[in-house]
Amino acid sequence: MEKAMFKDQLGRQIELHVPPMRIVSLVPSQTELLSDLGLNDRVVGITKFCVHPESWRKTKAIIGGTKQFDFTAIHALNPDLIIANKEENYEAGIAELSKHYPVWISDIVALDDALDMITRVGSMTQTESKAQELVGSIRQSFQNLPRLQGLKTLYLIWRNPWMAAASGTFIHEMIGLTGLKNSIADRSRYPELTSDEIRQLNPELILLSSEPYPFKENHIAELQKLCPAARILLVDGEMFSWYGSRLLKFPAYLQTLRNTLS
């Protein structure tokens, strides 16, 4: 089997056998992408948070979580490629795995980063044609993306403490593509907010993500007391934060959200 060099999105060079035949994915959205690239027989390990495709949870080895790897399980799989992400995985774990295996790391903030990731994964796995098809379909569907009113929006991802998505995140990018205005665009990453700060921000729309914190209906009432005039909606966090092939589903989801707000 031949070897080839590939550069990841951090600019790191990795060498691997092509095509890789024993792939471990450490990122849920990239796991779903590997499935959509037709790599069922070549993916051997996934995390406990990799919920799509559902069938893989029964047929693939579970190698821990995204922030806590089961190294024994990974070593038993003897992977020839591990696919990770700078934000979703933890630096110490990635450093340890890199001593033993080729680890390819994505770094995604903008939509173009996501499309570049899909293209590069297609190249590494010799599924270029399918990857280009996916990229083309996503680009086309995003050209006529339904637009929401330019509401001042707060996107919450956590409670106790409240945490929100600000600039420098893929969620912020997706919020902007909808036409909404992120009320904390002047901050970076995932800042903590006090209840008083949320009240002072006075957002017109509050979006409660289904992940990583599982917001429910009862949290709407809690926030409505802080911001009586705001519209508050539960939203599918996968649609705003998954940067693989799930992007294909975003335009239709956004149309549903638009109908809810109209």
d(CA 82, CA 89): 12
Please check the confidence at residue 195 and state whether its pLDDT lies above 90.
yes
d(CA 152, CA 184): 9
Q: What is the pLDDT of residue 147?
A: 85
CATH superfamily of domain region 152-261: Nitrogenase molybdenum iron protein domain (3.40.50.1980)
Same fold for the pair 2-141 and 152-261: yes
Average pLDDT over the chain, rounded to whole?
96
**Residue 159's pLDDT band (boundaries 50, 70, 90)?**
very high
Kindly state the DSSP code that residue 167 receives in the 8-state scheme.
B
Please check the confidence at residue 130 and state whether its pLDDT lies above 80.
yes
d(CA 15, CA 91): 20
Supply the CATH classification number for the domain 2-141. Answer: 3.40.50.1980
Please check the confidence at residue 160 and state whether its pLDDT lies above 80.
yes
d(CA 214, CA 26): 21
Please check the confidence at residue 169 and state whether its pLDDT lies above 80.
yes
Please check the confidence at residue 152 and state whether its pLDDT lies above 80.
yes
The mean per-residue pLDDT over the stretch 213-228 comes to 94
The mean per-residue pLDDT over the stretch 47-70 comes to 97
Could you state, in order of their start, the residue ranges of all structural domains in the chain? 2-141, 152-261
The mean per-residue pLDDT over the stretch 142-166 comes to 94
Q: What is the pLDDT of residue 188?
A: 96
The mean per-residue pLDDT over the stretch 92-117 comes to 98
The three-class DSSP label of residue 229 is: coil
d(CA 162, CA 56): 33
CA 4 to each of CA 71, 80, 97, 115, 125: distance values in angstroms, whole numbers, following the listed order: 26, 12, 19, 22, 11
Please check the confidence at residue 175 and state whether its pLDDT lies above 80.
yes
The mean per-residue pLDDT over the stretch 237-247 comes to 97
The mean per-residue pLDDT over the stretch 80-91 comes to 97
Could you give the angle at the alpha carbon of 191 between the alpha carbons of 160 and 261, nearest 5°? 80
CA 195 to each of CA 115, 159, 160, 217, 252: distance values in angstroms, whole numbers, following the listed order: 37, 10, 10, 18, 33
The mean per-residue pLDDT over the stretch 38-45 comes to 98
Q: pLDDT above 90 covers what percent of the chain?
A: 96
The mean per-residue pLDDT over the stretch 32-52 comes to 98
Tell me the H-state helices in 102-154: 111-124, 128-143
The mean per-residue pLDDT over the stretch 90-104 comes to 98
The mean per-residue pLDDT over the stretch 3-7 comes to 96
Q: What is the pLDDT of residue 149?
A: 83
d(CA 193, CA 166): 11
Q: What is the pLDDT of residue 56?
A: 97
**Residue 146's pLDDT band (boundaries 50, 70, 90)?**
confident
The mean per-residue pLDDT over the stretch 165-179 comes to 97
